[in-house]
Each structure stands twice: as structure tokens, then as C-alpha cells.
Amino acid sequence: MSELKNDRFLRALMKQPVDCTPVWMMRQAGRYLPEYRATRNQAGDFMSLCKNAELACEVTLQPLERYPLDAAILFSDILTIPDALGLGLYFETGEGPKFKKTVRTEADLAGLKSIKAEDDLGYVMNAVSTIRRELNGRVPLIGFSGSPWTLATYMVEGGSSKDFRAAKSMAYNQPELMHQLLDLLADNVIDYLNAQIRAGAQAVQIFDTWGGALSAHAYQTFSLQYMHKIVDGLIREHDGRKVPVILFTKNGGLWLESIAATGCDGVGLDWTVNIGDARARVGNQVALQGNMDPTMLYASPKAIREEVGRILGDYGTGTGHVFNLGHGITPEVDPEHAGVFINAVHELSAQYHQG
């Protein structure tokens, strides 16, 4: 594989010196870009886009053609594992993901097919290797998965949920069944992420989108312990280079110390935490990723630059910060504003990396 021309992102995650703070955006290949919408129309629907390696590669690279981003992220979906387990993923316009089958009983759990990522999710590995080849060392490629708890909520609820009634009922009324499901998912996520690493992913992120919906005790029990298991099971060095792992729990700011203690390399922050306070709490244990509110991108260019400057100032001098939004970029954002944001990070952060 070709040498990396820009390894700022990996260096910051490993807390090594950088010339300026690296930046990428969650959902950077997405609906805010007209070129993405055109390619998605060409593919026919979202999953067809994910399953076509050439088109998935095309949309992954689109934001890099526009902006000087410091990383690319695989274009895929967090629900690929439940789909491969046989639940039948589909998307309703305006309603998000749904499953034809749910997992609510022991029989449902026993009925899940066993999967091997390289075979059953081969289209994801094809996309990873295609993107790596086309990147040609330009920037690192991030692979990802949903967390076991987040995947379980969709599998038990049958889709998105506002209150997670079915998933939480299972956790509290049938904890053994929920633990069996989470254990199965953790094993599958380990296999899936390791397959992505072997295919060429140079860092991986676990999206615990719904961990923050749990109480403090339930978070440790049903979400964090399974992410810890995954961190322990991942390939941490490949192709002569360390493979950093980022854990991102949305609304997880209360539990930063516990997340950092899993042995991950980076902790993703949403926008509800002050990044300076977060740094004081976790010290040198992990790098921090985040954490501008995505809706700031609706503000004026001047306000965007001021907010970037404020977050950089709160983090302070030295490495260990990967700039990102606190969640994914939203579809209605003006692409020009995303450009202002990315340029501001590079320009305003250089002063914090001198000497």
C-alpha cells in the first residue's frame, strides 16, 4: 500500500506532534453535497449505493475533492450487521431504517444466522479496498461499526425509536436475553472491524448513537462493557502501523473517564461537553475528537470561525485533538459553510502546535 502523504489524523489520535489540528466530519459524504445526491440517484437507493464498491468509493472521495479534509470515512451504514444476520433492512422515505423481523424472544435470537464478515459483508470489504486504492495515500481511511447496544435497539424495536421502550424492557425484564444478544453483536462487530482493518481501514470508530439514552448504571452494563470487549478484540497494528480506535457515545459526556478506561485511543465528544473540561478529566489517557454543534454550520461564516476558534482555545496547546462536529453534518447545510469550517480549523489551530 502507498505511503500516507497526510497522516495528521493518525498522529493526533496517537498523541504525536502535528503542524495543525486535523479535521473530518461525521457524515461528510452525504446529502448536503449535490454531487452525492446525484450519485445516490444513479444508484437507485441507499443500500444499492452501499453495495456498489465503485459508487461507494465515489461518494467517499467527493468531500475530499471539495475540502482539505484529513481523513476519509468508509461510506456504509451502521445497520449492515443486523441486515446480514437476516433481519431484512429496508428504508422508508422520511422514516429512516426499518427491519422486516425483530429480536424479542429466545426463539428470535436462536433464529439469527451466523455470519462471517468477509463473506456475508464482502461488499463492505470491497468498498474499503477500492477506496484505499483510489485514495493512494492521500489521507487515512476510517472504518466503522455501530455499537452492540445501538444495533440491539434497532433489532429489538424494528427501527428507530423515541423512547426505546421495547429494548429497555428487554434489558430490565430479560437481562439474560439482552446480554446474549449484545454478546453475539460484540463478537460480530469484532469480526467486522477486523475484516475492515485487513481490507485497508487505518483507524476505526464505534458509533454508540443510543448509549446516551441509558441511565448511568445501565450504560456501563449494556453498552460500555461490550465496547470494552470490542476494543480488547481488535487488531491494533496492521501494515507496520498502529490502528487507532475511537469510541463515540452521543450524550456520553457524563462517562468520559469510564470510556477512556476501555483502552481506546480516542473518545468522540458531542457538543454538550466543553472540550477543555473533557481534556482536564481524561488527561493524557486518550485523544479527544469533536465537538462543534453541527447546527453551527447554519450560522454566518464569521460566527463559524469564532466558534472554531473558541473550541480550539478551550482545548489549548499541543496534540491529541481531532476536530469534528459533535454529530453528523445535516442535509440542509450550505457546502460553502462546511468549507469555512474546515479551513478555519487548519488556519486557526497552527498557533497551538508551535514549538
Q: What letter represents residue 253's amino acid?
A: G
pLDDT of residue 2: 65
Kindly report whether the global pTM for this prediction surpasses the value 0.85. Answer: yes
Q: Catalytic: which of 7, 8, 11, 27?
A: 27
Say whether 352 is catalytic: no
**Dihedral angle over CA of 233, 234, 240, 246, nearest 10:** -140
Specify the residue for cell string 430479560: 174
Q: Which 3-state string (H, E, C) describes 154-174?
A: HHHHCECCCCCHHHHHHHHHC
Say whether 66 is catalytic: no
Say whether 236 is catalytic: no
Q: How far is CA 255 from the centre of its chain?
A: 18
Q: Which of 219-255 are b and which e, b meaning 16 or more Cβ less than 10 Å from the residue's Cβ?
A: bebbbbbbbbbbbeebbeeeeeeebbbbbbbbbbbeb
Residues of each annotated binding site for substrate: 27-31, 77, 154, 209, 327
Q: Catalytic: which of 7, 70, 77, 265?
A: 77
pLDDT of residue 325: 98
pLDDT of residue 1: 53
pLDDT of residue 91: 87
Say whether 104 is catalytic: no
pLDDT in tens, the chain (355 residues): 568 999 999 999 999 999 999 999 999 999 999 999 999 999 998 999 999 999 999 999 999 999 999 999 999 999 999 999 999 999 887 778 999 999 999 999 999 999 999 999 999 999 999 999 999 999 999 999 999 999 999 999 999 999 999 999 999 999 999 999 999 999 999 999 999 999 999 999 999 999 999 999 999 999 999 999 999 999 999 999 999 999 999 999 999 999 999 999 999 999 999 999 999 999 999 999 999 999 999 999 999 999 999 999 999 999 999 999 999 999 999 999 999 999 999 999 999 998 6
**Rounded to whole angstroms, how far apart are CA atoms 172 and 311?**
39
pLDDT of residue 274: 98
| Structural domains of the chain, ranges and CATH numbers in brackets | 8-353 (3.20.20.210)
HSE value, Cβ hemisphere, 13 Å, CA-based, for 54 = 2
Residues of each annotated binding site: 27-31, 77, 154, 209, 327
HSE value, Cβ hemisphere, 13 Å, CA-based, for 352 = 23
Q: Catalytic: which of 8, 11, 36, 40?
A: 40
pLDDT of residue 340: 98
Dihedral-angle region of residue 98 (phi above 0 means left; psi in -120 to 50 means alpha; beta otherwise) = beta
pLDDT of residue 94: 75
Say whether 77 is catalytic: yes
